[in-house]
């Protein structure tokens, strides 16, 4: 993204980050509380159930929302078609989940999975009432409204989940919390829905919407399968308790995606699309946005690798210590994947949906192969196999972006080198904490204080020392702080 673009774009990015960080705070607090109320086995039951339902969620609207965001000529008939696809799939998928609930519970020999799936089925009926408005707000880059919707719905869901878990409802409390979040989101969406939007669905342009969505979804199904294969295989080949430990490790590492990648991507999709329509290319914005993500992402990964034990103790408690080593392995895998974070956004913004499908299928197949191989050997071996798969996926994705989008390779590699230097300087503090206190310290707060404070200072020094693009954001912030206190 052009970080010196008009204020509207910068304002959108600010609200996007506020949205993600507010949601992250709610997620962390609720996870901390629930991790002390539910056992690893109970978390595993819910985690595996949700992973299974991810395959259904992949085709929840067949890319109709994304179609609405990027469509150049948005007519009433096309809006009706998007609404028809979203509503029809919501009801249809709810029926699929209802029919599958008993066989799934029988396969895993866990009756609680059936009840969870029944609650989630209702979710699919409710979701479409928020999806159309959500896509329109994205298209218009009204991230302040999106932030309010997501924050309030997440807060409602977290309160219900914690309350029910405290009452002893077990893993279904998480599903009921998710349902409450969906209901709150739908009610807020009705408030923000444009008065000109039709309520009746239509089929006149439905072929156009489905043509776009089918290309996008064909690859997404494989992508979801690859992303969730570890928990599915662990739950079946090892135990649901092991799946619970993996879920906590994955959830911690995925915080970076929620903190940075999701926030940047949500702005980059409409902005890159606009740049492609008006300028014909967006290589400069892509390189700069990727530089931001790699500097922050690699710094995050180094911190997690060094401080995994105290972070897990603070967030989840000592009962989750068995997830420490897996957390470190997943952080290494994430470090390999960070450079390719915006590749699919670049293809989608340029309309290259077919490339996304081919790329996703290739990456998914090789990922599933390595994950299956690792899961059959053990917990640690699974983590190592995920690292290999992440490295292959990242290299292949970047190669396709350079080839098809025309991103200059030398400039991209130079931005990676700058980001790596920033992460190296930022990592000095966490590495010092690791050396001083060991990989599994019983002391919690001192390693965290040393690692986080010195890591933050090293990050700022690194940004200005290597003249990283992030200094364009830190300099105005420093000047504002300086003027306030002088």
Residue with tokens 């997440």: 154
Cβ 306 vs Cβ 440: under 8 Å: no
Instruction: State pLDDT tens for residues 248-257.
Output: 888 888 877 7
The residue-averaged pLDDT of 209-216 equals 68
Q: Is the pTM of this model over 0.85?
A: no
Cβ 201 vs Cβ 142: under 8 Å: no
What residues contact 423, with CB distance under 8 A and at least 6 apart?
Answer: 294, 295, 298, 299, 301, 302, 462
The DSSP string of 177-201 is HHHHHHHHHHHHHHHHS-TTS-SS-
Q: For residues 238 and 218, what is the distance between their CA atoms, to the nearest angstrom?
A: 30
Choose between 482 and 469: higher pLDDT. 469
Q: For residues 96 and 85, what is the distance between their CA atoms, to the nearest angstrom?
A: 16
Instruction: State pLDDT tens for residues 397-453.
Output: 999 888 877 788 888 899 999 999 999 999 999 999 999 999 898 888 899 998 999
Q: For residues 61 and 64, what is the distance between their CA atoms, to the nearest angstrom?
A: 5
**What is the 3-state composition of the chain as percent helix, strand, coil, each rounded to the nearest 5?**
85, 0, 15
| Residue 486 binned pLDDT confidence (cut-offs 50, 70, 90) | low
Question: Would the CA dihedral through 478, 482, 483, 485 be positive or negative?
Answer: positive
| Residue 345 binned pLDDT confidence (cut-offs 50, 70, 90) | confident
Q: Is residue 452 packed enough to be buried (19+ CB in 10 Å), middle (13-18) or exposed (0-12)?
A: middle
pLDDT at 11: 60
Which of 226, 332, 236 has the alpha carbon at shortest distance from 44? 236
pLDDT at 84 over 80: yes
Joined tokens for residue 139: 């298209």
Cβ 119 vs Cβ 94: under 8 Å: no
pLDDT at 221 over 60: yes
pLDDT at 394 over 50: yes
The dihedral region occupied by 384, where left means phi > 0, alpha psi between -120 and 50, and beta the remainder, is: alpha
Choose between 166 and 316: higher pLDDT. 166
Which of 301, 259, 249 has the alpha carbon at shortest distance from 431? 301
- The helix or strand, by DSSP H or E, that contains position 327, with its residue range, turns out to be helix 324-337
Please report how many Cα atoms fall inside a 13 Å half-sphere around the Cα of residue 167, on the Cβ side. Answer: 11
Joined tokens for residue 418: 């700058």
Residue with tokens 């983590």: 383
Cβ 27 vs Cβ 172: under 8 Å: no
Question: Would the CA dihedral through 51, 45, 259, 123 be positive or negative?
Answer: positive
**Runs of H (alpha helix) within 257-323:** 262-278, 283-316
pLDDT at 21: 65
pLDDT at 472: 78
pLDDT at 110 over 90: no
Joined tokens for residue 304: 């997690």
Rounded to the nearest 5°, which phi and psi values hold at 247?
Answer: -60, -40
CA 279 → CA 78, 283, 284, 407, 441, distances in Å? 26, 11, 11, 15, 53
- Cα angle, residue 409 at apex, residues 408 and 410 outer, rounded to 5°: 95
Question: Would the CA dihedral through 100, 106, 110, 112 be positive or negative?
Answer: positive
The residue-averaged pLDDT of 20-49 equals 79
Q: For residues 68 and 53, what is the distance between their CA atoms, to the nearest angstrom?
A: 25
| Residue 55 binned pLDDT confidence (cut-offs 50, 70, 90) | low
| Residue 349 binned pLDDT confidence (cut-offs 50, 70, 90) | confident
Rounded to the nearest 5°, which phi and psi values hold at 118?
Answer: -65, -40
Of 25-34, 86-95, 124-133, 345-354, the range with the lowest mean pLDDT is: 345-354
Q: For residues 153 and 206, what is the distance between their CA atoms, to the nearest angstrom?
A: 30
What are the domain boundaries of the chain? Answer: 1-204, 218-486
Of 257-266, 357-366, 381-390, the range with the lowest mean pLDDT is: 257-266
The fraction of the chain above a pLDDT of 70, given in percent, is 79
Most confident of 116-130, 215-229, 397-411, 414-428: 414-428
Q: Most distant CA pair in the chain: distance in Å?
A: 68
pLDDT at 263 over 70: no
Cβ 301 vs Cβ 220: under 8 Å: no
CA 306 → CA 268, 426, 447, 451, distances in Å? 31, 12, 9, 8
pLDDT at 166: 92
């Amino acid at each position: 993204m052009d970080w010196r673009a008009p204020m509207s774009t910068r304002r959108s990015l600010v609200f996007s980050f506020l949205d993600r960080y507010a949601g992250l705070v709610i997620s962390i607090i609720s996870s901390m509380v629930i991790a002390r109320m539910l056992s690893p086995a109970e978390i595993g039951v819910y985690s595996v159930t949700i992973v299974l339902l991810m395959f259904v969620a992949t085709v929840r609207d067949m890319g109709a929302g994304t179609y609405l965001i990027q469509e150049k000529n948005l007519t009433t008939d096309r809006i009706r078609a998007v609404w028809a696809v979203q509503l029809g799939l919501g009801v249809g998928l709810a029926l699929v989940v209802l029919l599958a609930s008993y066989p799934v519970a029988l396969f895993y020999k866990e009756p609680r999975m059936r009840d969870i799936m029944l609650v989630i089925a209702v979710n699919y009926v409710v979701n479409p009432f928020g999806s159309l408005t959500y896509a329109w707000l994205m298209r218009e880059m009204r991230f302040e409204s999106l932030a309010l919707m997501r924050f309030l719905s997440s807060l409602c869901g977290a309160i219900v989940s914690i309350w029910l878990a405290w009452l002893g409802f077990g893993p279904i409390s998480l599903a009921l919390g998710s349902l409450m979040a969906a209901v709150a989101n739908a009610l807020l969406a009705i408030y923000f829905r444009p008065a000109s939007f039709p309520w009746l669905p239509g089929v006149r342009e439905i072929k156009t919407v489905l043509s776009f969505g089918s290309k996008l979804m064909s690859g997404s199904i494989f992508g979801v399968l690859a992303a969730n294969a570890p928990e599915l295989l662990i739950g079946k080949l090892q135990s649901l308790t092991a799946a619970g430990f993996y879920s906590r490790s994955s959830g911690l590492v995925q915080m970076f995606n929620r903190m940075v990648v999701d926030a940047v991507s949500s702005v980059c999709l409409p902005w890159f699309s606009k740049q492609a329509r008006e300028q014909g290319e967006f290589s400069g914005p892509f390189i700069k946005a990727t530089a931001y993500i790699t500097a922050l992402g690699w710094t995050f990964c180094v911190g997690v690798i060094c401080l995994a034990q105290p972070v897990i103790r603070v967030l989840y408690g000592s009962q989750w210590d068995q997830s420490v080593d897996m957390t470190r392995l997943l952080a290494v895998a994430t470090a390999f994947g960070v450079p390719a974070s915006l590749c699919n956004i670049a293809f989608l913004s340029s309309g290259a949906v077919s490339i996304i499908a081919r790329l996703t299928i290739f990456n998914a197949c090789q990922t599933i192969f390595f994950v299956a191989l690792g899961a059959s050997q053990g917990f640690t071996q699974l983590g190592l196999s995920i690292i290999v798969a992440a490295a292959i996926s990242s290299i292949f994705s970047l190669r396709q972006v350079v080839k098809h989008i025309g991103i200059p390779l030398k400039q991209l590699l130079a931005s990676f080198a700058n980001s790596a230097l920033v992460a190296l300087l930022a990592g000095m503090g966490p590495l010092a904490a690791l050396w001083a206190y060991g990989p599994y310290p019983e002391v919690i707060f001192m390693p965290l204080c040393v690692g986080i404070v010195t890591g933050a200072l090293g990050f700022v020094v690194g940004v200005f020392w290597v003249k990283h693009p992030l200094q364009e954001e830190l300099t105005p912030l420093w000047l504002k702080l300086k003027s306030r206190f002088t």
